[in-house]
Amino acid sequence: MTDSLQYSADGPILVAGGYGTVGSALTALLAPDFPLLLTGRTPERGNELASRHGASVRRWDLLDPTPFDASVRAVVSTVNDPHDRVLSAAVEAGVPYVDITRWTTRVARAATLAGQKSPSAPVYLSSGWMGGVTNIVAAALAEELGGASTIDVSIRYDVNDIAGLDSVDFIDRLGQDFEVMQQGNPITVSPLTDTRWVDFPGSRTKVGRIDTPEQFTFPMTLGAETASTRIGFSSHASTTALLAAKKVGLFRWGRGDRFTPLRRGLLYSPGKGGSAQVRIDVTGPSGTTSATIVDPQGQAHLTAVGGALAVRQALADDAQPGVTFPESLLNPRRTVSELESFGVAVLRA
């Protein structure tokens, strides 16, 4: 595969997967300020969206070896890139790159691959929960406290939210143990264990462990000795069903394609819309503080907001080449203040 991108200061922002669930939301956020090129495996599905936002649309199927070529100003990946084609093409061309879709092991792989290629442009791995918005808010809270020794992230997943299949992709990894840092030491934990009840605006939700990229990056970027992320669901029945499935070992013996509909059927039932909520509790030298991110437009919109913020950071005049993560912003509190302009609230306890 010999994909070839070229950097053009006047070129469009290439949004890989630009007409999917998250990609469509990101396209709507970026279109007022940037020309856009949307790519995917079936470009005819993106024609109406592209026409509405004055964007172009082309085919780039990441599983098809046919080479792709374009001149662009930056690249945002909102799709699974199993062979790192989008990442490699952008880094080799010196094109600013943003990724908002990778899970933990693929974030680590992307950071390693990009580092080996010595990028001459920013490589913004913004795959923390909801496009890195969680990371930015956590960094702002840590800054208030003069640092962070413990960061606890709790997610309330609204089962009525508008969502694509990729949004429940994490369910296929609920049979895999993962490593986190606890009191400065690496430990291995199992998904959906170590449950607790967490208060969200208007509800109390039971949450359990889940593997997410910010648990991997927080100890390195913010110096956290303990980093944990847990998830719970707006439907107590969904939480109960997942915990029961975990208990009987469904996510271990039912890993294959044969059981994919059963696994995803436990959670994938997209509705007409719901609220995305993430609570972050941080302990540092000056005490403990917390904030809850609330996006009434749902998780796809909140993820797109993270992507839009990342694009602006990657294109900023002071952006530095190399791999970076969203919580490494020089002024995270200023970025948090920008969330309101996207309709996202950050509520303080």
SS (H, E, C) the chain: CCCEEEECCCCCEEEECCCCHHHHHHHHHHCCCCCEEEEECCHHHHHHHHHHHCCEEEECCCCCCCCCEEEECEEEECCCCCCCHHHHHHHHHCCCEEECCCCHHHHHHHHHHHHHCCCCCEEEECCCCCCCHHHHHHHHHHHHCCCCCEEEEEEEECCCCCCCHHHHHHHHHCCCCEEEEECCEEEEECCCCCCEEEEECCEEEEEEECCCHHHHHHHHHCCCCEEEEEEEECCHHHHHHHHHHHHCCHHHHCCCHHHHHHHHHCCCCCCCCCCEEEEEEEEECCEEEEEEEEECCCHHHHHHHHHHHHHHHHHCCCCCCEEECHHHCCCHHHHHHHHHHHCCEEEEC
pLDDT at 31: 98
Contact yes or no for 3/69 (Cβ under 8 A): yes
Distances (CA, A) of 205 to 164, 222, 293, 301, 317: 23, 27, 15, 22, 42
Average pLDDT over residues 30-51: 97
Residue 130 backbone dihedrals phi, psi, to 5 degrees: 60, 55
pLDDT tens readout for residues 10-22 = 999 999 999 998 9
Average pLDDT over residues 321-332: 93
The mean predicted confidence, pLDDT, of the chain is 91
- Between 349 and 91, the more confident residue is 91
Average pLDDT over residues 76-89: 94
pLDDT at 287: 98
Q: In the predicted model, is pLDDT for residue 244 greater than 90?
A: no
Average pLDDT over residues 63-91: 95
Q: In the predicted model, is pLDDT for residue 112 greater than 90?
A: yes
pLDDT tens readout for residues 136-153 = 999 999 999 999 999 999
pLDDT at 23: 95
Lowest mean pLDDT among 4-18, 173-187, 212-226: 173-187
Average pLDDT over residues 66-72: 97
Q: In the predicted model, is pLDDT for residue 131 greater than 60?
A: yes
The model's pTM is 0.92
pLDDT at 327: 97
pLDDT band at 174 (very low <50, low <70, confident <90, very high): confident
End-to-end CA distance of the chain: 51
pLDDT band at 270 (very low <50, low <70, confident <90, very high): low
Q: In the predicted model, is pLDDT for residue 166 greater than 80?
A: no
Lowest mean pLDDT among 15-19, 26-30, 259-263: 259-263
pLDDT at 155: 96
Considering the chain, what percentage of its residues have pLDDT values greater than 70?
Answer: 89
